[in-house]
Chain A
C-alpha cells in the first residue's frame, strides 16, 4: 500500500471517531489465530493540520495470537477488550446493527457460526492469499527495517527499494506452507506449497518429545544435536566427505536416518536432539523447495513469513543455508519481523475496500516509519494470549 495514495474520502463519523479501539481483523489458521487491531492514542488529538479534508488518527496496531484449539480464550479476549465492536456495518445495509469483522484463513469459514454466536458479529471472509500478499506488501513498504537476512547468527536489515520490490517470492510457513509469487499490489499467484510446515514440526515434535507447546519444542531444539539421529554423509562414508558431488561429511544424508540402525528406542533419544533434527529437516526442506520455485520464475528475493519461524535463530539459519546452498549464493532468504501476522494484517487492510461506500472505514498508513519495538534476537512469543507480550506497531490512520 502506497502511503501517498492512502486517500481520504468522506468525513469522519462522530461515533466512530470516539472509539478507542477500532478495526479488528482475524487470521484463523489451522494452528493459530492471529489478531490485528488498532487503538488510538488517547493523548493526541486528531491531526487535521495539513489537509482539512484529511483526518489522521495516531495510534497503535496491536498484534496478538492464540492457539486455534483455544479459540474460546481468543473470543474471551475479544469480548473483554470490546474488540469486536471495531468492525464495520454492512455497507449495503448501513441501518442494520449487523457488525462485520474481517477475517481470513480457513477458520474464517470453520468458526463463522461460533463467532456469530459468541460475539454477535458476522465474519466477512477475505481470501487468504490476498491477505498474505497485502500484508506482506504493506509491511515491506511501510515498515522500516521490516525485512532482514539471517546467516550464521548475524542479522542484517535489508533496505527495500519500494520501486524495486517486485517480483518476489513470499513463503508463508503456517501449519502448511504456501509459496506465492508476488508481482505487485493484488497481483500474485500461488505457485507452490508444501504440507511439511509448522504443523508438521509441532505435530511430529509433540508425538516424539511430549512437549507441551511449540515454543517449548523450539527451545529444546536450541540445545539439541541432530547428529545423534540424522544420518550424515560421514556416517555412510566412514567419516569421509563425498567431495565429488560437493557433500561434506557433516551434510545430512538422511534425516532421522540413524534411528534405523540403532537399537535405541524413542525413549533413549534426547528430546532436544529430536527437536533439532526435526527442525533442520523441515527448515531445510522448505528452503529448498522455496529456492527451486524462485529459480523457476527467476525471483532473486524470497521472503519467509508465517508463524513457524517466530524469529527463531536456528530456523532462520537453516532456511538461509538451504537457500544459499542450493542457489550457490544466487538467492537470498529474507525474513519479516511481523512474519506471523501477514494474513491478519492483510485482512485489516481490506477494510479499505469498503471506504468508498462506507464512511466509517479508515485508511491505514504509516506516517512515520517506526521501528517495531519488540524485535530482538530473542523473541519468543508465548502462546498464552497475554497482550503484554505481543507486538504493537505505532502508526497513523487516515480516517474518513
Chain B
C-alpha cells in the first residue's frame, strides 16, 4: 500500500500542489492533502462535563528507504497500489490527550500550539501567518460541543461539528474492540487478564460509559445501539462529593487518597449491625457494606474527625459498586453476558475495577463478566474521530495498528508527567520538545528528580502502591496508536489465529523481575552506547539521560502493573526499549558496532567462498548449514568477539565452531533437507522458486552465515529474498543496510553480483552499470525486503506489505535463531556471554522444543538454531552447549 515518502532530498510538498506531487512517482496519491478539509481530519474532541478528551492524528515521519529500489521491488513483486482501497489511508499515529473541562483554555492553547485545528504541525504545509480558514470544522461530541461552540469559533476560528454522543461512544468502543489486540481485560482481585475478542462474536454487549454521569448502552452492531439505562451517580458524584468532603484539589488526588483508606471506619458493615457476625442466611458476610457512610450517623465524630483517605475509599466503593449493580441488572434484562466499562471515572484504577467486577460477579453469581478498556476514557473522542468521512479507518485490521508506549499522553489532571522541565511551554508535551524540527534539537536539561520518583537506572516502586490498591497516577497506560496501513498478516502462516509471537508471558513474576533486573542493569551501558552513536555531544548526553528516565519510568510502571500496557511479553519489553531510544532521537545506538562487525566479516568472505567452492555439492550444503549455525556463535558486542575481530581470526573461530557441529544434531533433519535440495539417486529435484531468508544479526551471522547460503540457493536457480528489520534494533541488520553489505560481498562473487543486479540491489552501489549489462544477466534475482518491524522480535501477524507480497511466490523459508524463536513457543533466557560483560543473549531454544513445531507454514521451512546457553541446554533439551537444531518441514 501507499505510504508517505518524505526523503530528505525531496522538496516539501506545498499545499496547492499536493495532489500532483503525490501522483508523480506512484500513480497514487500517497499524501492525502488534496484539500483543507482532509487536512482537518486530524483532531476530534469529546468535551464532557469534567474532562475534555482529544484524539489527534499525526503522520509518520517518512522512512526513506531507497525509493528507487522500492519501486523496482514493487514492480518485481507485483505490488500494485490502491487495489484494496478506493483511496489510500495515511500511516501515522493516534494520540490521546485529556484536559479538565474547567481548564478549557489550556486545551485551546494546546490545540493552537500544535496547530491541530489546521491539520497539525506535521503537515508543515501550514503557514502561521495565513488567515484561518473560516470554514474549518472539527468533529466534537459531548455536551461541551454545544456549550463551547462560540469559544472555539472565537479562539481558534473553527466550527465544531457536533456528533451524537452515544453514537460516538459506540463507534469508539467498536473500533477499539476490533482494532486493538489487547484492549479489553477483566480485573478481579488485582489480577488483570486480557480478553481475546472474537470479532464475529462481539455483539451484543452492554457498554457502560462512566463519565460525570453514567450511560448504559446496549450495542448490537456497528451503529446499532440503544441507550437502555444510566445513572446520575457517576464520576462527577465521586469527585464532587469527594471535593466537598476532603478538600482534594483533583480527581486523581482523591483517587490517590482512596488507596490508603479504610472504609470500615465510615461504612456500616453487616458485622457492625450483627455484632461482628455474618448474616449468612442471605449470603452477606460480616464485611459486606450494609450502609455506605452509615457509621457517620451513630458516631459523634464530625467531618474533620474522619480521615480523607477513608472518606474517599468509602465513596469510591459506594459508587463503583452501585454502577456495577445497575449495569448487571441491565445486562440481565437483555441477556447480555459481556459488560464493557469505559469512561474516565475508571482510569485504570485497580480498586475501582475490582469493586465493579465484584459487584457484577456477586449479583450475577458469576454469569456476567465485567470487562474494561485500556482506552476507556477516549471512546467518545475516538468515535468523533471515526465520524470523519475520509479517514479510511473503518476497515483497519488489528495487524495494522501497533501500539507504542513512549512517554506520550502526558497529561493527567492538567499536569505534565515526566521529568520536570521548569518553564517550558507547558502546552506541549515535554517529549515533543525533542522532536521539534527546528534548526536544532533543543533538548532541555532534566532537573534532579524529586524524591520518590524514578531515577536513572532504578525502578523504585511509587510510594502510592499499596496492596491491590494501585492507581494509574502516571497515566501511562494508554499508548500512541501507530497506524501502519501497510502491515499484513504473513501469508505463509498456516494458522494465524493460533499464532502467538509473544510466547514469553511475563506474568511469571520471577521471570519479570529477572528481566527488569537485566534490563535496568544494562541501561547505563546502553545509554553510553547510544550517546556515543550520536557523537557524544552534550545534546546527546541530555537525551541519553532523558531516555534513561523515560525507560526507567516505564519499567517502574510495569513492575507495578505488568499488564499496564496490554499483555506483556518479552518481545514487547524489548520493543519498548527500542521505541524509547527512537523517541529520544537515538536512531541506531549500535551503528558503529554493526559496522565493525560487518567489515570484519566481509574481509574474510572471499576466503570462505573459495573454500566452499572447492567442496562437493553435498559437503558444501552441509558446510553451509553448519555455517549458519556456527555464525550464530558470534554475538554482538561481547568482549571475546570484539577481540576476535580485532585479531583477525574470525574465520578461524568460525571454522572451529563449524567443526564442533557433530552430527547427528539434537534435532537433525539435514538429510531430509538434502534430499529435497539435491535429490536422492538419479532424481534431480526441481529447485525452489523463491526462498525467503530471515536474517537477524549483523556481522558474521548475516555475512558468513546467511549470504553463503543465499549464494548457494541463487546458484541453484532459486530467487532469494533477504528479509530484514525495517528499523534498527540491537545489532540486527536492517533492510537499509543490506544493499551495501551485499554490494560489498558482490565484489568477491559473480553469482551474488549478477543476482543483486537482477534484484536492483546495486542501483546505488554501482550506479554506472548500463542497462545492457542488466539484460545480459540471466541470473535469478537477489532481493531485500523489510519486514515492517523495528524490534528484536518479529511478529508475523504484522509484516510489511512488501514481505507479504514477496511471500506469495515463496516456497522455502529459512529462519534462524531470533526470528525462529519468535515463531515458536520457545523459552528465552539471559546469559552472560563469554565473560563479565553484561550482555543479553536471546536464546532460541527452550522447553518449547517439544512443541515448537506447531507453528506451521504453508511452504517448506528450514529452521536453524544453536543453543548457546549451558543451563538451558541441560535443563531444557538435556543436551549441552552448542547443541544444534536443524528442522526441515516440507510444505503441509
Contact = CB atoms under 8 A, between A and B. Distances in A.
A110 B291 contact: no
Contact of B298 (A68, A192, A293): A68
A175 interface: yes
Contacts of A112: 275
Interface string A260-302: 1100011001000010000001001100110011011000000
Contacts of B266: 203
B297 A284 contact: no
Contact of B274 (A31, A110, A254): A110
Given A30-B268, A195-B289, A106 B333 contact: no
A365 interface: no
A281 B49 contact: no
Contacts of A202: 294, 296-297
B146 A206 contact: no
Given A195-B267, A204-B296, A257-B213, A288 B244 contact: no
B854 interface: no
A59 interface: no
A260 B279 contact: no
B293 A207 contact: yes
Interface string A175-212: 11000000000000010101111111011101110100
B329 A326 contact: no
B101 interface: yes
B297 A206 contact: yes
Contacts of B321: 195
A261 B295 CA distance: 29
Given A199-B290, A236-B144, A231 B275 contact: no
Nearest to A129: B282
Contact of B237 (A67, A110, A195, A256): A256
A203 B211 CA distance: 25
B603 to A, nearest CB: 69
Contacts of A128: 279
B233 A285 contact: yes
Contacts of B50: 257, 260-261
A336 interface: no
Interface stretch (B16-24, B61-69, B224-232): B224-232
Contacts of B299: 69
B15 interface: no
B120 interface: no
Contact of B49 (A192, A198, A235): A235
Interface in B306-344: 306, 311, 318, 321-322, 325-326, 329-330, 332-333
A195 B318 contact: yes
B202 interface: no
Contacts of B245: 207-208, 266
Given A30-B291, A203-B291, A257 B236 contact: yes
Interface string A290-318: 00110110000000000000000000000
B240 A29 contact: no
A199 B275 contact: no
B243 interface: yes
Given A236-B142, A259-B241, A231 B213 contact: yes
A362 interface: no
Nearest to A178: B282
Interface residues of A, number: 73
Nearest to A130: B281
Interface stretch (A94-102, A237-245, A366-374): A237-245
Contacts of B146: 237-238, 240
B609 interface: no
A255 interface: yes
Contacts of A259: 239-241, 243-244
Most chain-A Cβ atoms within 10 A of its Cβ — which of B102, B233, B234? B233
Contacts of B295: 203
Given A175-B268, A231-B49, A292-B333, A204 B293 contact: yes
Contact of B143 (A129, A237, A274, A284): A237
A349 interface: no
B657 interface: no
A196 B291 CA distance: 6
Contacts of B306: 207
A133 interface: no
B363 interface: yes
Contacts of A292: 229, 326, 329-330, 333
A123 B594 CA distance: 86
Contacts of A155: none
A257 B318 contact: no
B212 A231 contact: yes
B76 interface: no
A253 B237 contact: no
B199 interface: no
A200 B294 contact: yes
A22 to B, nearest CB: 28
A238 B147 contact: yes
A321 B488 CA distance: 54
Contacts of B610: none
A190 to B, nearest CB: 5
B294 A203 contact: yes
A236 B232 contact: no
Contacts of A261: 49-50, 101-102
Interface string B238-272: 01110111010001000000000000001110101
A254 B291 contact: no
A176 B243 contact: no
B294 A281 contact: no
B302 interface: yes
A251 B306 CA distance: 33
A109 B268 contact: no
A129 to B, nearest CB: 6
Given A257-B49, A260-B239, A326 B363 contact: no
A197 B294 CA distance: 8
A239 B243 CA distance: 25
Most chain-B Cβ atoms within 10 A of its Cβ — which of A196, A251, A258? A196
Nearest to A240: B146
Contact of B318 (A200, A240, A244, A295): A200
Contacts of B273: 29-30, 105-107, 110, 175
A214 B294 CA distance: 12
A285 B48 contact: no
B290 A110 contact: no
Most chain-A Cβ atoms within 10 A of its Cβ — which of B146, B148, B149, B273? B273
A231 B235 CA distance: 11
A127 interface: yes
A394 interface: no
Given A192-B329, A238-B148, A260-B236, 18 more contacts: A30-B291, A30-B298, A31-B298, A107-B275, A111-B275, A176-B294, A192-B325, A194-B325, A197-B294, A204-B241, A204-B296, A206-B296, A214-B297, A258-B240, A265-B244, A266-B244, A285-B322, A289-B329
The 10 A-B residue pairs whose C-beta atoms are closest, nearest first, are: A236-B143, A106-B273, A199-B294, A257-B236, A199-B291, A254-B236, A256-B240, A203-B296, A203-B293, A259-B240
Interface of B: 48-50, 101-102, 142-144, 146-149, 164-166, 211-213, 227, 229, 231-237, 239-241, 243-245, 247, 251, 266-268, 270, 272-275, 277, 279, 281-282, 288-299, 302-303, 306, 311, 318, 321-322, 325-326, 329-330, 332-333, 363
29 contacts: A30-B298, A31-B294, A105-B273, A106-B273, A106-B274, A109-B274, A110-B274, A112-B275, A129-B282, A195-B289, A199-B290, A203-B266, A204-B293, A207-B296, A235-B49, A237-B146, A242-B143, A254-B212, A254-B213, A255-B234, A255-B236, A256-B241, A257-B49, A259-B243, A260-B243, A265-B244, A288-B229, A288-B326, A292-B329
Interface of A: 29-31, 67-69, 105-107, 109-112, 127-129, 174-176, 190, 192, 194-200, 202-204, 206-208, 210, 214, 229-231, 233, 235-238, 240, 242, 244-245, 251-261, 265-266, 269, 274, 281, 284-285, 288-289, 292-293, 295-296, 326
